[in-house]
Copies of this chain bind each other. A is one copy, B any other.
Amino acid sequence: LLSDYGLADGFVGALHSVLRTLLPAVPIVDLTHDIAPGDVRAGSQALQRAAHYLAPGVVLAVVDPGVGTDRRAVAVQAAGTDVVFVGPDNGLLLPALDALGGPALAVELKDLGYWLASPGPTFAGRDILAPAAAHLAAGGDISALGTTLHHVSLARLPRPRMVTHPDGSLEAEVTWVDRFGNVQLAAGEGDLAGAPLVVVVTAAGPARTARAVRTYAELADGELGILVDSYGSLALSLNGASAASSLGVAERDLVIVGPPRGEPGP
């Protein structure tokens, strides 16, 4: 499960209750429910980060600002895997599906026989998606849930920005700021020439020098580092403090990192 429901309101409890009623014995993993409300981009990237570690089974993901409208609810099998994603067709699912080989069979959840009766249309997670996920996790046929779609018709968000410039620098979107203040960029190890020092330019402050390291603990207090994080992405980090706060950057900001030249800032 992944959602923007938060843990305070009982929405997640309702999902679990419905799943447990239909499916008492299957283990449930909560990836996170603290995606910012309605932030489909952040949800899609959290799901993508989880993709390679998913247990075989069904992934129910709900970040769904268009709930109750004619945006489609879908179930999509990842090609060549035992993983089926269930969620709104708003771009949330595709980055994770792509990480697992791309979408194969896709079905729109139109068969009302699987929906729970509900007093209002604003909680599709409980009323439409959870019963579909339970059906699938119990070994049910995906085709029974509705009508087959061509996966090319699935909604897709723009990829996070990542551009390499002729001078060897790269301009990358901040894809994630984690609890520790690490700043993950939309770039991987291979996107940066392997210099021991890079210059980091943000809109918010002066240019900073970052040292290439493998682990946080190699950094002195206050020293900015750049490393390959546990998802294979480049990340800016401090040791025991928040690089995001120090740099003044947030998710979706652009950051330029590149080889030192002239007089880099402090």
Contact = CB atoms under 8 A, between A and B. Distances in A.
Given A10-B50, A17-B29, A68-B214, 16 more contacts: A2-B10, A7-B32, A8-B179, A9-B46, A13-B50, A14-B31, A14-B50, A65-B216, A68-B217, A119-B230, A121-B214, A121-B215, A121-B230, A122-B227, A122-B230, A127-B230
Interface stretch (A18-26, A153-161, A165-173, A203-211): A18-26
A34 interface: yes
Nearest to A69: B217
A40 B200 CA distance: 31
21 contacts: A2-B10, A7-B7, A9-B32, A10-B31, A10-B46, A11-B178, A11-B179, A13-B30, A13-B50, A16-B29, A17-B31, A17-B53, A37-B179, A37-B180, A53-B126, A65-B217, A119-B229, A119-B232, A122-B227, A122-B229, A123-B229
A79 interface: no
Interface of A: 2, 4-14, 16-18, 20-21, 24-25, 27, 29-34, 37-38, 46, 49-50, 53-56, 65-69, 118-123, 126-127, 176, 178-180, 189, 214-218, 227-232, 239-240
A204 B180 CA distance: 29
Contact of A179 (B6, B55, B67): B6
Contacts of A118: 230
Contacts of A12: 30, 32
A217 B227 CA distance: 41
Contacts of A65: 216-217, 239-240
B214 A21 contact: no
A7 B24 contact: no
Contacts of A5: 179
Nearest to A188: B119
